Amino acid sequence: MFRLKFNEVFVGLLLLSVLSAFVLPPRFTNRVRSFQGIFAPVARPSRAIASALHARVAPRQLESRDAADVKIENEKLKAQLVHLNGQLDELRKINQDRQRLGDVLPLCTPFPVVGSDPGNRQSLSIAADSGDHVAEDMKVVYSTGVVGVIERVGPGGAQVKLVTDKDFQVRGKFKRVVTDPSTGDVAFQTLETSAPLVRGDGKGRMVVANIPLKETKLGAAENTPPNARVDAENVIVTVDDPDWPINLRGQVLGEVESVQPMRGAPLYAEIRLHPTLNLAGLSEVMVLNKLGRAGQAAAAD
């Protein structure tokens, strides 16, 4: 009994394909082309799978673009890059300013300034509420000194009473800033004077009115040592108040701007101070709302 083997069938079909493609005229082969519909149930799914794979694997052809459009897009990308670089520089500056707080930084939370008091009060509005663990009488600082204290907290934000406000007062200490000319190192020399009571004058400055004139350069005796004289040459006032957190002892309140005899009390001096920065122009402040153990002990006392 004669049986066709698979190899024989395959070779026969291969020869038939060669004859149909290269030997037989198209008028004979076109008549049987309709038989390819028999293989549609297998051919169509295979073709769909092959097309999907080709779309994923085959390299995409780049579309040609107009040179003017490419130039406009490049200009936009350059503008975005300049903007991002500006933002990065600003963030670096903010981070550097924060680092200047030193050991106080981990105890603070930064808040943006959203406005200032347009009236006669010296204050700032910040975007903070009680949900941010901000409460009245918390101290507010910035990179180079004290800003003030939290005066009130509401759902719309918190109000900071500045050190220049007429209702602000704190005890401090005079220190002279001494710079080593050979190394450039800065040191602080405490002046041996009465403890100054610093008050805001309500006009962007602070004033000290409890220092005898004899403890200043104007009224000191000739034999008075320089570290017992207050003058306007590289002298600052720092916080030294037992009612303030110990973490803020030594924080700068302002620089001595002028020393003159007090009107109506010639035995005392009127010492005026100015903040180290324009407080009304601050964009961010740091609220001391995470006191460490030392600060909590001082607050409890």
Q: Is the pLDDT of residue 162 over 80?
A: yes
Q: Domain limits of the chain? A: 106-300
Record the pTM: 0.66
pLDDT, average across residues 122-126: 92
Candidates 236, 2, 286; CA nearest to 126 is 286
DSSP string computed for 62-128: PPP--HHHHHHHHHHHHHHHHHHHHHHHHHHHHHHHHHTTGGGGGGEEEEEEEEE-SSSS-EEEES-
Token pair of 142, please?
A: 């910035």
Confidence of residue 295 (pLDDT cuts 50, 70, 90): very low
Residue at token pair 């603070």 = 108
CATH 3.40.50.150 fits 106-300, yes or no: no
pLDDT at 219 (0 to 100): 82
Q: Is the pLDDT of residue 262 over 60?
A: yes
Residues 6+ apart with CB under 8 A from 111: 126, 127, 128, 132, 134, 158, 284, 285, 286, 287
Q: 34-43 pLDDT, tens per residue?
A: 555 555 565 5
